[in-house]
Structure 1
Amino acid sequence: MPLLLYTYIATEILAPFFASFLIINAILFLGKLVPLLNMIFDFGVGSGDFLRLCAYMLPNLMLFSIPMASMTAVIVAVTRMVNDNEIMALKANGIGLVRLLPPVFVIALATSLLTYFSAVTLIPQGTLAMKTLFIQMAKEKIDQGVQPGQFSEGLANVVLYIDAVDPQTRQWQGVYVSDMRHGDTPMTIVAKTGTLTAQPEKMLLTLSLADGTLHRANENITQTIRFDRYQVNLPIKAPTEIAGTSLSEVGKNGLSQAQLLEQVTRHGAKSVIGMGMLMEYHVRMAMPAGGFILTILGLPLAMLARPGRRPVGVPLGLLFFVLYYVLFTAGRAIAESGHLPVALGLWLSNILMAFFTVMLTRQVAKESVPLFLTRLSGPALALLARLPGSKIGGKLP
């Protein structure tokens, strides 16, 4: 009987989880769409590359969408069971809230592990892959934009001109470069051949020139240098970031957990860089743990519903979800100011929310409702009433 019951509850939770996951990710993605649209217009991104960029962005969204979808799924599933009197039937057979915890615990553990995997593995890999794709698209744009017999456009303070392009090797023949990035010291380069290469690991586009001369002028002094090989790092025009992530450097988002700790050791935990790396290390562990706690919290919140009355689990869940991230942000700010150790500051919201979850679970299991939740029922129902198609129909007992 328990295994059959647990399977049934888990199945009821999974359906709203996937629905919530898709909806929440769609909403979050809309907020990131504007910089992507700018990039599409600037670089002429095709549908294939656009889908790849969306896939690389997804791990960053999953850090928030998975915990929220997991908590919402538990609330929706259990509230539905309450409204259909299934929970009442289970209680009549001696199955209370505590005995309903195992399937919710398993769902919470699975979603938190998925969030952790996304944070420590998918986000660094996605960040590096996104930057690599961007630098490759930038190279293709420059490579295709430079036409024989025409002066190039789109490179800030750099003008390119080539006589011809080898159709097989894509090597440039007869290259002229006017580099005005150094202000009062303009530089002109003339070379027999040139090749454009991308260095994703350094986030650079490099023009390798062969057999040429470099001419540089500074006030009344001019220099002419002959070279066999010479490299010029080309500037990349906007966008400089995608979805809030800088494209000019790899940054801490592209580092693994071990690499973050190496940077902390290298720069020192008290330094600005070291503290930033240490905070990123703890954030990747604290947020999945927070998702686990919030998912468990969804069960007692859903059990507050009563048949025939308007459920308040969803608005209360949203309220506590926002409260958790407010506490998380506050703890992070306190840790950054140095008033708390980094680990304590970033885990403080988890500690407080875990304490509250245990307390609420015990009270709801005893069929009692905390007074402050009763007082919150009014604002929660008012929030629910603002949703499209909602009707107020009761309050917490």
Structure 2
Amino acid sequence: MRKTLNTYIFKEIPPPFLVGMCTFTFVLLMGRFLKLAEMVVEKGVPFADVLWMVIYLLPSFWLFTIPMALLLAILLAFGRLSGDSEITAMKSCGISLYGMLPPPMIFSLFACAACLWVTVYAVPWGNSSFKKLLIEVAQASAGVVIKEKVFNDAFPGMVIYAETFTQKGQTMSGIVIHDERDPKEPATIFAKSGALLADPQAHSIEFHLNNGSIHRSTETGSYRMVDFQEYNLRVSLAKPGGNQNKSEEEMTLEELIHPPAGRYKPKELLSMQLEYHSRLALPFACFVFTLLAMPLGIQNRRSGKAAGFSLSIGVLLLYYVALSAFKALGERQLLSPVAACWAPNLLFLILGAYLFHKTANEQPLPLTEGFARLGAFIKSRFARKGAR
């Protein structure tokens, strides 16, 4: 009987989990969709390249959507079981809430394993492949990274502004370029017009500027200005496969925890440690969300799927607000990277264990009790007004 019951509960979880994965992934992808669509419509980037960019972005989304979808799935699954009085029937047969815990925990184990695979292998591969493809696209069409009337910072150490930009001829006007690639002598370049020329062989882009001036300052406080009629500014793009150009999101866990000595500044090393521990903390949030979602789903039995979805969004917002807050404390070195990244899991684990214990003992949760009192108060107020 127990095996049949565990299988029955387990089968309730995959359908809403898949729906949650598709929904949350689509919502996150919508933030990038407009920019990707613009690359096809305005910049002339081949649709196949944009499709590959979407594929490369998916792993970084899955790192978040797997725990999110698991929370939603267990909320809806246990909300359905409770709403149909199946939880009550199980309890009448002597099965406590602790006895119902193995099926969702087993599913969360699979979700955690999938999330670990994503963070160890898929995220570095996806981010590095996305950057490599973006460089190739930029080499084929230099204007992909330039947008008129916008301060473009796509090139490391540079900010580029163009009043107008013509995609067909790759020409610009009203150009301002702030170049900080040499921190000792930053320069600001003004030009009335110019054009872009990609050089795929040299992995670079060249700005052909006309009728302008170069303003350069030094550490000693001196200032120089040079007027020009024609000036060529070459910008080197990162060569694919170069480890020295990898960002934190592109690095593997091994590269994050054992970076080459002397290559990175202390602030960069701190960011790498935070990235390392946050990648490990997110998969284990699957277990935390499971423990938290079961009691919330049971207490939410009569509110339907829409309320279950809203409740999951509320819990996720609280979790990611806590995640961002503790990460900020870690960046300011008020907490160690381990404490900053794992503290949200610990806090929500304590909350989940408390709610689980209350529900297992058939005690109302403080949250639902508070909402019930608020609803009764509002109802009584409207009843008094109606009586008058």
Normalising by the residue count of structure 2, what TM-score does the alignment of the two structures yield? 0.69
Task: Give distance in 2, aligned partners of 1:250 and 1:155.
Answer: 31
Give the whole-Å Cα distance in 2 for the aligned partners of 1:289 and 1:340: 20
Q: SS of 2:358's equivalent?
A: helix
Match of 1:342 among 337, 341, 350: 337
Question: 1:172-321 maps to which residues of 2 (within 5 A)?
Answer: 197=200, 204-205=203-204, 250-263=246-259, 266=262, 271-306=266-301, 313-321=308-316
- 1:346, distance to aligned residue in structure 2 (A): 1.4
Q: Across the two proteins, how many residue pairs are aligned to each other?
A: 302
Aligned residues: CA RMSD: 3.4
Is the partner of 1:319 in helix, strand or coil? Answer: helix
Amino acid aligned to 1:72:
L
* 1:122 aligned residue: 122
Equivalent residue of 1:354, what SS? helix
Identity of aligned residues (%): 26
Structure 1's unaligned 5+ residue stretches are 143-151, 158-180, 185-194, 208-217, 221-231, 241-247, 382-397
Q: What whole-Å deviation, never above 9, does each CA across 1:10-43 have from its counterpart, x for those lacking one?
A: 2111011101111111111111222223332454
* CA spacing shift, 1:48–1:378, aligned 2, 3 Å: farther
Which residue of structure 2 aligns with residue 72 of structure 1?
Answer: 72
Quickly say closer, same or farther: Cα 1:33–1:365, change in 2 above 3 A: same
The 3-state SS of whatever aligns with 1:100 is: coil
- Give the whole-Å Cα distance in 2 for the aligned partners of 1:299 and 1:233: 58
1:317: how far off?
Answer: 3.1
- Per the TM alignment, residue 316 of structure 1 is displaced from its structure 2 partner at its CA by 3.4
Using the alignment, how far apart are the partners of 1:283 and 1:6 within structure 2?
32
Per-residue deviation, 1:376 = 4.3
TM-score normalised by length of structure 1? 0.67
Contact 1:20-1:72 within 8 A present in 2 as well: yes
Kindly tell me: are residues 376 and 63 of structure 1, through their superposed partners in 2, closer, same or farther at Cα, counting changes over 3 Å? farther
Q: Distance in 2 between matches of 1:61 and 1:52?
A: 15
Q: Could you tell me which residue of structure 1 aligns to residue 355 of structure 2?
A: 360
Larger radius of gyration: 1
219 and 338 in structure 1: CA distance in 2 versus 1, 3 angstrom threshold: closer
**Match of 1:10?**
10
Residue matched to 2:326: 331
Q: How far off is 1:3 after superposition?
A: 2.1
Q: Kindly tell me: are residues 370 and 81 of structure 1, through their superposed partners in 2, closer, same or farther at Cα, counting changes over 3 Å?
A: closer
Q: Which residue of 1 aligns with 2:53?
A: 53
Q: 1:67 to 1:50 in 2, by over 3 A?
A: same
Confirm or deny that 1:154 pairs with 2:170.
yes
Question: For 1:259 and 1:140, how far apart are their aligned partners in 2?
Answer: 31
* CA 1:47–1:267: 2 relative to 1, 3 Å: closer
**Would the alpha carbon gap of residues 265 and 4 (structure 1) be closer, same or farther in structure 2, given more than 3 Å must change?**
farther
Q: List aligned pairs for 1:29-44, cutoff 5 A.
A: 29-41=29-41, 43-44=43-44
| Alignment deviations for residues 276-300 of structure 1 (CA, whole Å, 9 cap, x no partner) | 1111111101111123311331111
Q: What is the DSSP-based 3-state SS (H/G/I as helix, E as strand, rest coil) of the residue aligned with 1:259? A: helix
1:87–1:25 CA distance, 2 compared to 1 (3 A):
same
Relative to structure 1, the CA distance from residue 219 to residue 266 in structure 2 (aligned partners, 3 Å threshold; closer, same or farther) is: closer
Structure 2 unaligned residues grouped into runs of 5+: 143-167, 174-186, 191-197, 207-224, 228-232, 239-243, 377-388
Amino acid at match of 1:287: L
Answer whether contact 1:7 1:103 (CA < 8 A) is retained. Answer: yes
What is the correspondence of 1:60-99 to structure 2 with a 5 Å cutoff? 60-99=60-99
Distance 1:115 1:285, change over 3 A: same
Shift of 1:267: 5.9
Partners of 1:253 and 1:296 lie apart in 2 by 30
Q: Secondary structure at the match of 1:24?
A: helix
Distance 1:347 1:267, change over 3 A: farther
